[in-house]
Chains A and B, each alone.
Chain A
Amino acid sequence: MSKRIAVDPITRIEGHLRIEAQIEGGKITNAWSSSTAFRGIEAILKGRDPRDAHHFTQRFCGVCTTVHSMASIRAVEDALKIQIPDNARLIRNLIMGIQNVQDHVIHFYHLHALDWVDIVSALSADPAKTSQLAQSISDWPKSSTTYFKAVQGRIQAFVNTGRLGPFQNAYWGHSAYRLPAEANLMAVAHYLEALEWQKEVIKIHAILGSKNPHPQTFLVGGMAIPVDPDSQNALNADKIAYIGKLLKQARLFVEQVYIPDLLAVASFYKDWAAIGGGVGNYLSYGDFPMDNSGSVSSLYFPRGIIMGKDLANLMTVDESKITEYVTNSWYSYAGGDNKGLHPYDGETTPNYNGPKPPYEFLDTNGKYSWVKSPRYNDQPMEVGPLARILVAYVGGNPDVKGVVDFVLGKLGVGAGALFSTLGRTAARGVDALIMARKNEVWLQQLADNMGRGIYETFNKEKWDPATWPKEARGFGFHEAPRGALGHWIRIENQKIANYQAVVPSTWNAGPRDPKGQLGPYESALVGTPIADEQKPLEILRTIHSFDPCLACAVHVLDGQGTEIIRIKAL
Chain B
Amino acid sequence: MSILVLGLGNALMNDDAVGVRAIEELRLRFAFSAEVQLVDGGTLGLDLLPFLEGVERLLIIDAIDMGGAPGDLFRLEGDEVPRAFASKLSVHQMGVQDLLAVAELQGHVPRELVVHGVQPASIEMEMQLSPAVTTAMEPLLAGIVAELERWGVRRQQAA
Residue contact B90 to A556, C-beta cutoff 8 Å = yes
**34-55 of chain B: CB within 8 A of chain A:** 40-50, 53
Is there a chain A Cβ closer than 8 Å to B11's Cβ?
yes
The proximity string for A residues 153-172 relative to B, scoring 1 for CB distances below 8 Å and 0 otherwise, is 01100100101111100000
Residue contact B105 to A63, C-beta cutoff 8 Å = no
The proximity string for A residues 93-131 relative to B, scoring 1 for CB distances below 8 Å and 0 otherwise, is 000000000000010001100000000000000000000
The proximity string for A residues 349-362 relative to B, scoring 1 for CB distances below 8 Å and 0 otherwise, is 00000000000000
Residue contact A163 to B82, C-beta cutoff 8 Å = yes
Chain B residues closer than 8 Å to A555, beta-carbon distance = 10, 13, 91, 125
A62 to B93, CA, bound (A): 11
Which listed residue (B41, B82, B107, B126) contacts A44, Cβ 8 A?
A: B126
Residue contact B44 to A213, C-beta cutoff 8 Å = yes
Given A41-B12, A44-B126, A199-B53, the answer on whether A110 and B40 have CB atoms closer than 8 Å is: no
Residue contact A199 to B49, C-beta cutoff 8 Å = yes
Is there a chain A Cβ closer than 8 Å to B156's Cβ?
no
Residue contact B101 to A65, C-beta cutoff 8 Å = no
Chain A residues closer than 8 Å to B157, beta-carbon distance = none
Chain A residues closer than 8 Å to B46, beta-carbon distance = 106, 110, 195, 198
Chain B residues closer than 8 Å to A559, beta-carbon distance = 87-90, 93
The proximity string for A residues 1-36 relative to B, scoring 1 for CB distances below 8 Å and 0 otherwise, is 000000001011111100000000000000000000
Is there a chain B Cβ closer than 8 Å to A570's Cβ?
no
A512 to B101, CA, bound (A): 38
Residue contact A164 to B101, C-beta cutoff 8 Å = yes
Which listed residue (B98, B123, B127) contacts A557, Cβ 8 A?
A: B123
Residue contact A56 to B93, C-beta cutoff 8 Å = no
Given A9-B89, A59-B11, A562-B86, the answer on whether A43 and B43 have CB atoms closer than 8 Å is: no
The smallest C-beta distance from B153 to any residue of chain A, in angstroms, reads 23
Residue contact B94 to A214, C-beta cutoff 8 Å = no
Is there a chain B Cβ closer than 8 Å to A467's Cβ?
no
The proximity string for A residues 230-270 relative to B, scoring 1 for CB distances below 8 Å and 0 otherwise, is 00000000000000000000000000000000000000000
Chain B residues closer than 8 Å to A561, beta-carbon distance = 87
Find the residue from A12, A62, A154, A551 having the highest chain B CB count within 10 A.
A62
Given A195-B49, A562-B89, the answer on whether A14 and B94 have CB atoms closer than 8 Å is: yes
The proximity string for B residues 61-90 relative to A, scoring 1 for CB distances below 8 Å and 0 otherwise, is 000010000000000000000100011111
The smallest C-beta distance from B34 to any residue of chain A, in angstroms, reads 19
Is there a chain B Cβ closer than 8 Å to A192's Cβ?
yes
A368 to B99, CA, bound (A): 32
Q: Give the contact-size bracket for chain B.
A: 35 or more
The smallest C-beta distance from B119 to any residue of chain A, in angstroms, reads 12
Is there a chain A Cβ closer than 8 Å to B102's Cβ?
yes
Kindly report which residue of chain B lies nearest to residue A59, judged by CB atoms. B11
Residue contact A165 to B100, C-beta cutoff 8 Å = yes
Residue contact B43 to A40, C-beta cutoff 8 Å = no
Q: Give the contact-size bracket for chain A.
A: 35 or more
Given A158-B105, A167-B101, the answer on whether A63 and B93 have CB atoms closer than 8 Å is: no
Residue contact A11 to B93, C-beta cutoff 8 Å = yes
A558 to B64, CA, bound (A): 10
Chain B residues closer than 8 Å to A401, beta-carbon distance = none
Chain B residues closer than 8 Å to A551, beta-carbon distance = 10, 43, 91
**10-31 of chain B: CB within 8 A of chain A:** 10-13
Is there a chain A Cβ closer than 8 Å to B138's Cβ?
no
Is there a chain B Cβ closer than 8 Å to A560's Cβ?
yes
Is there a chain A Cβ closer than 8 Å to B97's Cβ?
yes
Residue contact B41 to A558, C-beta cutoff 8 Å = no
A212 to B50, CA, bound (A): 11
Residue contact A192 to B105, C-beta cutoff 8 Å = yes
Residue contact A44 to B10, C-beta cutoff 8 Å = no
The smallest C-beta distance from B68 to any residue of chain A, in angstroms, reads 14
The smallest C-beta distance from B88 to any residue of chain A, in angstroms, reads 6
Chain B residues closer than 8 Å to A199, beta-carbon distance = 49-50, 53
Is there a chain B Cβ closer than 8 Å to A507's Cβ?
no
Chain A residues closer than 8 Å to B90, beta-carbon distance = 556, 558-559
Is there a chain B Cβ closer than 8 Å to A341's Cβ?
no
Residue contact B127 to A44, C-beta cutoff 8 Å = yes
Is there a chain A Cβ closer than 8 Å to B104's Cβ?
yes
Which listed residue (A12, A15, A44, A212) contacts B125, Cβ 8 A?
A: A44
Residue contact B105 to A60, C-beta cutoff 8 Å = no
Is there a chain B Cβ closer than 8 Å to A495's Cβ?
no
Is there a chain B Cβ closer than 8 Å to A462's Cβ?
no
Chain B residues closer than 8 Å to A43, beta-carbon distance = 125
Chain A residues closer than 8 Å to B40, beta-carbon distance = 213-214
The smallest C-beta distance from A14 to any residue of chain B, in angstroms, reads 6
The smallest C-beta distance from B98 to any residue of chain A, in angstroms, reads 4
Kindly report which residue of chain A lies nearest to residue B100, judged by CB atoms. A165
Chain A residues closer than 8 Å to B98, beta-carbon distance = 165-166
Given A163-B82, A562-B86, the answer on whether A56 and B44 have CB atoms closer than 8 Å is: no
A62 to B47, CA, bound (A): 9
The smallest C-beta distance from B147 to any residue of chain A, in angstroms, reads 23
Residue contact B106 to A41, C-beta cutoff 8 Å = no
Find the residue from A164, A166, A561 having the highest chain B CB count within 10 A.
A166
A167 to B100, CA, bound (A): 12
Kindly report which residue of chain A lies nearest to residue B107, judged by CB atoms. A154
Chain A residues closer than 8 Å to B93, beta-carbon distance = 9, 11-16, 556, 559
Which listed residue (A59, A165, A558) contacts B12, Cβ 8 A?
A: A59
Residue contact A213 to B12, C-beta cutoff 8 Å = no
Is there a chain B Cβ closer than 8 Å to A39's Cβ?
yes
Kindly report which residue of chain A lies nearest to residue B10, judged by CB atoms. A59
Is there a chain B Cβ closer than 8 Å to A202's Cβ?
yes
Could you list 10 examples of A-B contacts with CB < 8 Å? A11-B93, A63-B47, A65-B42, A166-B101, A195-B106, A196-B106, A199-B50, A202-B47, A213-B40, A561-B87
Q: A202-B50, A559-B88 are in contact. List 19 more A-B contacts (CB 8 A).
A: A14-B93, A15-B91, A41-B12, A43-B125, A44-B12, A59-B11, A62-B44, A63-B47, A110-B46, A154-B107, A161-B104, A163-B82, A192-B106, A195-B49, A198-B50, A202-B47, A559-B87, A559-B93, A561-B87
Q: List the 6 shortest-distance A-B pairs measured between CB atoms, nearest first.
A: A165-B101, A62-B43, A559-B89, A13-B94, A199-B50, A166-B98
Residue numbers of A with Cβ under 8 A of B are 9, 11-16, 39-41, 43-44, 56, 59-63, 65, 106, 110-111, 154-155, 158, 161, 163-167, 192, 195-196, 198-199, 202, 212-214, 551, 555-562
